[in-house]
Amino acid sequence: QKEVEQDPGPLSVPEGAIVSLNCTYSNSAFQYFMWYRQYSRKGPELLMYTYSSGNKEDGRFTAQVDKSSKYISLFIRDSQPSDSATYLCAMIPRLNSGGYQKVTFGIGTKLQVIP
């Protein structure tokens, strides 16, 4: 069993829809959770990050963590064609003051927003 499970999709939604992207994980040591967005033929870029359980909102994006269920979600409101990309969840057990991070990634979910 992988440490982080993520449905690879693809997920196709109409413009304006609410999108829900999810990951489950098995390692209870994970405390920091991230979402990366990767456009086609580009490197992943950090979209959002959260610490421990709860919600974090940034514009049309909301990241949600439920540590009791080992489940994290990314919600996109009023989705736009420009949101079409692959979204990777990622997590780490702690922030290293020296900068080293052993990041565990999900496989990524490919999202297509249809105009």
Partner 1 sequence: DAGITQSPRHKVTETGTPVTLRCHQTENHRYMYWYRQDPGHGLRLIHYSYGVKDTDKGEVSDGYSVSRSKTEDFLLTLESATSSQTSVYFCAISGPGLYGYTFGSGTRLTVV
Of 99 and 115, which CB lies nearer to partner 1 in the complex structure? 99
Span 19-78, contacts to partner 1 by CB under 8 A: 32, 34, 36, 41-46, 49
Rounded to 5, what percent of the chain is helix, strand, coil?
A: 5, 50, 45
Site membership for partner 1, residue 99 (CB under 8 A): yes
CB within 8 A of 97, min separation 6: which ones?
none
State the number of binding residues for partner 1 (CB under 8 A): 26
CA atoms within 13 A on the CB side of 20: 5
Site membership for partner 1, residue 97 (CB under 8 A): yes
Cis previous bond, 115, omega within 30:
no
Residues within the interface to partner 1 (CB under 8 A): 8, 32, 34, 36, 41-46, 49, 88, 90, 92, 95-101, 103, 105-108
